[in-house]
Amino acid sequence: MATIETMTSQETMHLFDRYVIPNYKRYPISLVRGEGAYVWDAEGNRYLDLFPGWGCNLLGHCPPRVVEAVREQVGQLIHVPNTWYMEPQGRFAQQLSERSFGGQCFFCNSGAEAVEAAIKLARVHAGKGRYKIITCENGFHGRTLGALSATAQPKYHEGFEPLLAGFTYVPYNDLAAVARAIDEETCAVLVEPIQGEGGVNVPDPEYLPGLRRLCDEHRLLLVLDEVQTCMGRTGKWFAYQHYDMTPDIMTLAKALSGGIACGALVAEPNVAASLRPGMHASTFGGNPVATRAGIATIETIEEEGLLENVERLAARFRERLGRLQSPSGVVHQVRVRGVMIGIELAVDGTPVVAACMERRLLVNCTHSTVIRLLPPMNLTLDQCDEACDTLAEVIQKV
C-alpha cells in the first residue's frame, strides 16, 4: 500500500520549490491533520482555524459523517461517467432543490466551473444576439477565463487579456447603475448576495429584491453566485433566503460537500430546459463520492441544528468584535452575516494575520484592510471567545 511518511514543513517546502509551480503565496507551514476547528502542522503545533479550507470546511476539518460517507462510497463505487444514472447525484440534487427554489442541478467540481456553466446557460437561454452579462466591481467569480471576465477586478485580469466579450461592470449595491447598464443585448445579471473576496460587503436589504424586479422588467436572468455563501454560511441555506425573492440560477461550491471538491448550478426548471444533451458537461461532475459527501453535509447541518448555531455564533461575534469598533480607532467597521465576518481596519491587515498565526489562530486578510473570518458553523462559543480574545489583543497592538 502506498504510504505517506510525515515530512517536516521544511522538507515539504523543498519538494514544492523543485516540483510545484509557485502560483500561490504559501505560509511556511505544512499542515498534516485536522479535526473540527483545529489543524496541526508537521511539527505538531495546533491552530484554531477561523478560515478552514478557504471557506470549504464549513463543518470544520474532517466532519465525521462526511468522512464515514466518503469511506463507504469509495469502497462501493468511486467514479462513473454521466452517461449513467447514479443514486447519490439524484438524491443530492433533490435535497438542494427542496431547500432552495425547486430548481434542477448541474454538477461540476469548483466555483469557477459553476460560474462558467451559468454564463453558458444564460447565453443559450436568451438566444441569438443577447449575450451580455452585468456583474459588479469588487466581485469575485473565479479564475477560468469566463469567470475571470465576470470578475470586475482589473488586478486579476492583468496579462490575460483579451477577456471574454460581453461583460458590463457596475458598482455593487447600486440598482440605478444596473438599470443604466441594461441594453437590448443583455441576458443576465450575475452578482454575489454578499461579496466575499471583495471584503464581506453586505448590500442594502432592497438590493436583491430590486435586482429581481429589474430582471423581470427586462426579461433578464438573475444569477446569484452563492459559492461562498451557500449551505448555511449566513444562517439560512442560501443567502438569498434572507430576502423576499428567488434567483433564476444560483452557483454553488466551496462548502457544498463538507470539504470534498464539488460545484453545482441550480436553475429554475424553465431555464434549465435550455441546456440540452451535449451542450455542457463535466467528467467528474456529480460523481458518487462528492455527492454522497454532499448528502452527509446536509444531514449533519440538519441533525446537529447547525443553522441555529450559526445565529448564536453570529450574535457572539457581533457582540465581541463590535467592542473593537470605533470611528477613530484601528477597527472601522465589523460586518457579520452568520459565520461570514469582515473586520474593516484602518491599516494593512497582513501583520494582524501574521501575529494571529504566531498565537496559533488562523484568519485571512482580503482587499488589504479586511480581516475575513469564515469559521465553521459548529464552532463552540468557547472557541469563538478564545479567537475574539486573540484578535482583540493583536489588533490593540497594531
Site residues for ligand PLP per CB under 6 A: 110-112, 115, 140-142, 192, 196-197, 225, 227-228, 253
CB-wise, 253 or 391, nearer to ligand PLP?
Answer: 253
Closest approach of Cβ 140 to ligand PLP, in Å?
Answer: 5
Closest by Cα among 185, 202, 57 to 138? 202
Closest approach of Cβ 6 to ligand PLP, in Å?
Answer: 28
CB-wise, 38 or 156, nearer to ligand PLP?
Answer: 156
CB-wise, 136 or 395, nearer to ligand PLP?
Answer: 136
Residue number of the CB atom closest to ligand PLP: 111
CB-wise, 225 or 268, nearer to ligand PLP?
Answer: 225
Closest approach of Cβ 110 to ligand PLP, in Å?
Answer: 4
Specify burial of residue 326 (Cβ count, 10 A radius: 0-12, 13-18, 19+): exposed
Identified catalytic residue from 51, 140, 167, 238: 140
Q: DSSP for 69-103?
A: HHHHHHTT-----TTS--HHHHHHHHHHHHTTTS-
Closest approach of Cβ 178 to ligand PLP, in Å?
Answer: 18
**Other Cβ atoms within 10 Å of 25 Cβ, number:** 5
The CA distance from 284 to 95, in Å, is: 20
Closest by Cα among 210, 228, 213 to 174? 210
The CA distance from 88 to 285, in Å, is: 12
Closest approach of Cβ 221 to ligand PLP, in Å?
Answer: 17
Specify burial of residue 138 (Cβ count, 10 A radius: 0-12, 13-18, 19+): middle
CB-wise, 142 or 375, nearer to ligand PLP?
Answer: 142
Catalytic residue status for 140: yes
What is the distance in angstroms between the CA of the first residue and the CA of the last residue of the chain? 50
Closest approach of Cβ 9 to ligand PLP, in Å?
Answer: 25
Identified catalytic residue from 49, 225, 236, 248: 225
On whether the CB atoms of residues 101 and 268 are closer than 8 A, the answer is yes
The four Cα atoms 297, 303, 304, 309 give a dihedral, to 10 degrees, of: 90
Catalytic residue status for 120: no
On whether the CB atoms of residues 207 and 170 are closer than 8 A, the answer is no
Q: Which residue has the cell 473570518?
A: 373
CB-wise, 226 or 248, nearer to ligand PLP?
Answer: 226
Identified catalytic residue from 51, 107, 254, 317: 254
Q: Catalytic residue numbers?
A: 140, 225, 254
